[in-house]
Chain A
């Protein structure tokens, strides 16, 4: 019987790797990438990890460490990361296996391989091709289940002798791997579950596989049981082939500096609505509930904290940008309080359903086909960055090498 094999392709230190494709000066050095608003560390190079910089480290707290170790600090450049991610995924789509993109830098594979050797061969070829075509290094783990494939990938990353590909199908190898895997590091086991398990004396993944099924089902429910079965080598989590339909869309951003001007706040809200509508249209959905919220800085000593939220229900499932912007402004008017300096604004859309075409009297009779172009126009008509104090801080963002004609990488003709 042909054994079914799963693979997990994981880009190494993805955001840093993306930056290194276009900036060779970053290679071999400690590099960190900060979250939007330059808040905390969301990516570290191997060299930065060795310095003990943890994931999620607040940037201001580690400023001195960065300086004394000459750590290169970059603001996140999601335009670049999304573009390179798309390329990696496109290359995976050409491989002789089914692909499920799991995150911006991970994808599960389901091999239609005749043998384990073929699967390894495919993985090695893919890894080489991705490196040559995009400059992104990846690690690939192969195992009988998705959960074990994730374990295999960790070994592929850490053990340099494996050259980026790790096959975990042999039972003794699996047992050893699970023996050395803390239960909290298992895919599908969150920190709360991990706490519950360690309190019960279950510290390793191997111990988890020896735990009674009925107890697991009671405490960890069916998803937990599936995870344990997967650790035992029984595949019960298959590839998710259809794109997950969003249940709700939430978009909010903190401002670079607190703002009180109504115009600026409305601009920020309009921008969030425009983005959310793009996502709605992509899934052919409309929202039936719209919320808008604004908040002042919770930690400010000079400000009394104010958080306002308003919600309206829409008569039909809508996704037209200007219609939803006008509704959002209506809500905003009811929650805005004069005199406050706001730190954050956001929108939420719930009750997503199939889009219902509706002739809104607000719109001109030109129809809705102009909406996507309109969003592009809204983006460009927006005032120049100097007049957009609500834009998040991105002081050290690399150029949009692959998404802007004005920011292409430059090669010297000398």
Chain B
């Protein structure tokens, strides 16, 4: 059972911790992109910002976690975070998030003889031909993969 006085102590401690904690910059805090850079901006040195460097369409960008047997030839391992952009057009060779039979999957998109195929990571598995009858759809294009060496 906590008393009023105990609560006071806890909050004061938190204030101490907060004062020394590193400043957290939330990713994708705001989806409205910055306006046009002005000539004056060129003279100002700003810290490097991963958000603007990696993400062109914040409102269309989502994070998806990859899971399962690795797609190492594409540089994706299980547990990696994929940065997915829904705004850009998928092309031959794009790594995409596709919805196949209701589930998210990571596939390579390829075009062969005018037909589009979703190529799975497993070289033995069948490519999925995209046609009217197939229950598969493109969800977004993978633009970056975040692989961490520290847990």
Which A residues lie at the B interface, using CB under 8 A? 24-25, 86-88, 90-91, 93, 132-135, 261-263, 266, 270, 322, 325-326, 329-330, 333, 362-364, 366, 370, 373-374, 377-378, 381, 401-402, 405, 408-414
Contacts and interface: CB of A to CB of B under 8 A. Distances in A.
A133 B57 CA distance: 9
Interface string B1-44: 11010011011101111110100100000011000000000000
Interface of B: 1-2, 4, 7-8, 10-12, 14-19, 21, 24, 31-32, 57-60, 62-71, 76, 78, 81-82, 86-87, 97, 99, 102-106, 120-122, 125, 139
A309 B82 CA distance: 50
A91 B87 CA distance: 11
B145 to A, nearest CB: 11
A377 B14 contact: yes
B86 A132 contact: yes
Given A25-B102, A132-B86, A374-B15, 9 more contacts: A133-B87, A135-B86, A326-B8, A374-B18, A402-B63, A405-B63, A408-B65, A414-B68, A414-B105
Given A410-B65, A411-B64, A411-B82, A90 B59 contact: yes
Nearest to B65: A408
A414 to B, nearest CB: 5
Contacts of B87: 132-133
Contacts of B122: 414
Contacts of A91: 59
Contacts of A329: 4, 7
B18 A373 contact: yes
30 contacts: A25-B102, A90-B58, A90-B59, A133-B87, A134-B60, A135-B86, A326-B7, A330-B4, A364-B12, A366-B15, A370-B19, A373-B21, A374-B11, A374-B14, A374-B18, A378-B11, A402-B63, A405-B81, A409-B65, A409-B104, A410-B64, A410-B65, A411-B64, A411-B97, A411-B104, A412-B103, A413-B68, A413-B78, A413-B105, A413-B121
B21 A402 contact: no
A408 B65 CA distance: 6
A237 to B, nearest CB: 26
Contact of B31 (A24, A86, A132): A86
B60 A412 contact: no
Nearest to A373: B18
Contact of A412 (B24, B59, B105): B105
A413 B70 CA distance: 6
Contacts of A325: 7, 11
A200 B48 CA distance: 67
